[in-house]
Chain A
Amino acid sequence: GENVEQHPSTLSVQEGDSAVIKCTYSDSASNYFPWYKQELGKRPQLIIDIRSNVGEKKDQRIAVTLNKTAKHFSLHITETQPEDSAVYFCAASNPNAGNMLTFGGGTRLMVKP
């Protein structure tokens, strides 16, 4: 089955700096890669996703890049703000496995004011 590795497990940045979280996946058939944000005490929520037919997607201060050949994808947050502090999860989905998502281990991002 699919295996998703996520790094780093914790990340501390100064407000205004950029943050990058990286994930690798094992199954080359996976074609959908979402990122979820979970604030303390709240449910995970989708913030951005990318499909395998594109290499990059941006939404205001967040962007995701995908390298299919290397089987890795990354989340980029620019001009970080304290409200970006949360746990971020990457995931991969294989069309042969229905709509199941395999999640990475999560990254705790702390943005210091």
Chain B
Amino acid sequence: ETGVTQTPRHLVMGMTNKKSLKCEQHLGHNAMYWYKQSAKKPLELMFVYNFKEQTENNSVPSRFSPECPNSSHLFLHLHTLQPEDSALYLCASSQGRTTRSYEQYFGPGTRLTVT
């Protein structure tokens, strides 16, 4: 599948490390999203970008820092994470808020383990 890709698929990092998650969409969409999926909160929205501008920050701690250099790429920079941040991080994209198409296409996710 090439619609929405994420790298890496698995990541183990220590609490003092700095790492980045990457998402790329090949669908010509203008909106991109980061979700956190864990046993406690199955699909928790973190950030939303529309046309490269951040339109939503869902009270996410500053140790998570998103970056959207263009409509096709989305990054999540991680630093000084906590063990409770271990989860599956899903990226999604959709056509954008100016259209009536709301369907979100998800990537395969990055399984993050913080030790």
Residues of A within 8 A of B (CB): 32, 34, 42-46, 49, 87, 89, 93, 98-103, 105-106
Taking the complex as formed, is B103 at the interface, i.e. its CB lies under 8 A from any CB of chain A? Answer: yes
In the bound complex, residues from chain B placing their C-beta under 8 Å from that of A101 are 45, 102, 104
In the complex the two chains form, what is the Cα distance from A101 to B48 in whole Å? 10
Interface size class of B (residues with CB under 8 A): 20 to 34
The DSSP consensus for interface residues of chain B is: loop
The A-contacting residues of B in range 36-78, CB under 8 angstroms, are 41-43, 45, 48, 50, 55-56
Q: Which 6 A-B pairs have the closest CB atoms?
A: A98-B97, A103-B43, A106-B42, A43-B106, A99-B97, A32-B102
Interface centre among B42, B90, B94, B106, by most chain A C-beta atoms within 10 angstroms, is B42
Proximity string of chain B (74-115) to chain A, C-beta cutoff 8 Å, 1 when within and 0 when not: 000000000000000010001111010111101111000000
Given A32-B102, A98-B48, A101-B102, 13 new contacts (CB under 8 A): A43-B90, A46-B103, A46-B104, A98-B56, A99-B95, A99-B99, A99-B102, A100-B45, A100-B48, A100-B56, A105-B41, A105-B42, A106-B43
Contact of B96 among A93, A99, A105 (CB under 8 A): A99
